[in-house]
Chain A
Amino acid sequence: MPETKVKKMLFILSKATLDNVYAAFIMANGARMEGIEAEIFFTFFGLEAINKEKLDHLHVATVGNPAMHMPTMLGGLPGMEAIATKMMKKEMEKLDMPPVGEFLEILSDSGVKLWACKLAVEMFHLEEKDLIDDLDGILTIGDFYNRADTEDTHMLFV
C-alpha cells in the first residue's frame, strides 16, 4: 500500500455543536495515527470546545438539522436538545469515544497543535485562563496560514 502524500492537516473548527466538534477531533486524531501532522484552529463558536467552563456541556443541534428526522417545531421544545445529546453521548461511549475534555488531552498528547483565534477570543471577551491548559497559543488567521509551511498541507473548515 503506498504511503499517503498528505503531510499535514490544518483544521478550522468554527462550530460548537457536538457532531462538528467530534468530526474535527476524529479527523485530527486519525491524521496523527497515520503519521500525518495535525493542528486545529478554534474560531467563533468553535472556541466553546476549548473553553474550560463550556467544553463538557456541548450539545447536538436539534433545530435546523434535517438528519435528526424530527419536525423543527418539536426540536425546539425545551429539553429536546438535552435528550438528543444524552442519546448521542451514550452511543459514543459504546464506541469508546472519549468525552470532549479527555479527547483534547489525547489530541495534545498525540502532538496535535491546538490554537485559539485571536479575533474570536477578543470578540467573546475571553482570556487565556478561560481556555484549556493544553492550548498551544492564540493566533491570528495570518499566523495560522503560516503554519501551512510544508508541501502537501491541506486545510479543512468544519
Chain B
Amino acid sequence: MNVERNEEGYLKDFSQWTKEIGTEIAKENDIEMTDKHWEVITYLQDKFKNEDALSIRGIKKSGIINIKEFYALFPKGPLKVSTKIAGIPKPKSCI
C-alpha cells in the first residue's frame, strides 16, 4: 500500500484515500466490506469533511445504522476500526 500511515495505521492524509486502500485496511482488520460497510464509511467521511466530531451517540442519531449493527459490522472497537478504513483520523472523543 503506497500511502503514508501513522504508527496506529491511520492515513496521514485523507486525500490519498481510495476505495482500494479502504478495502486493504479492512482486510488487515479481518473485515470483508459489504455495501452496508461502505454506506457507513461514506457517512463517516462526510462527517469528517464537515468537521463534525464523531461519537457513538452521533452514530445512534445518524439514521444510517444503529449501534448494534455498527458493532456487528466493525467488531473490536467500531469507531476506531471504521475511521481507519475511512482514511480519517481516530476520533478523540471519550464518548
Contacts and interface: CB of A to CB of B under 8 A. Distances in A.
Residue with the greatest number of chain A CB neighbours at <10 A, chosen from B60, B66, B76, B95: B95
B24 to A, nearest CB: 19
Nearest to A30: B94
B8 interface: yes
Interface residues of A, number: 18
Contacts of A109: 60, 66-68, 71
A133 interface: no
B87 to A, nearest CB: 18
B53 A96 contact: yes
Contacts of B93: 96
Interface in B53-69: 53, 55-58, 60, 66-68
Contacts of B44: none
B75 to A, nearest CB: 7
B77 A97 contact: no
A135 to B, nearest CB: 17
A29 interface: yes
Of A1, A33, A96, A102, which is in contact with the most chain B CB atoms at under 10 Å from its CB? A33
Contacts of B86: none
B7 interface: yes
B80 A35 contact: yes
Contact of B56 (A1, A95, A110): A110
A110 B57 contact: no
B71 A96 contact: no
B94 A1 contact: no
A35 B66 contact: no
In order of increasing CB-CB distance, the 10 nearest A-B pairs are: A35-B76, A109-B67, A35-B77, A1-B8, A109-B68, A34-B77, A98-B57, A33-B77, A96-B55, A110-B67
12 contacts: A26-B95, A29-B56, A30-B94, A30-B95, A32-B77, A33-B56, A35-B77, A96-B93, A97-B57, A98-B57, A110-B56, A111-B71
Interface of A: 1, 26, 29-30, 32-35, 95-98, 102, 105-106, 109-111
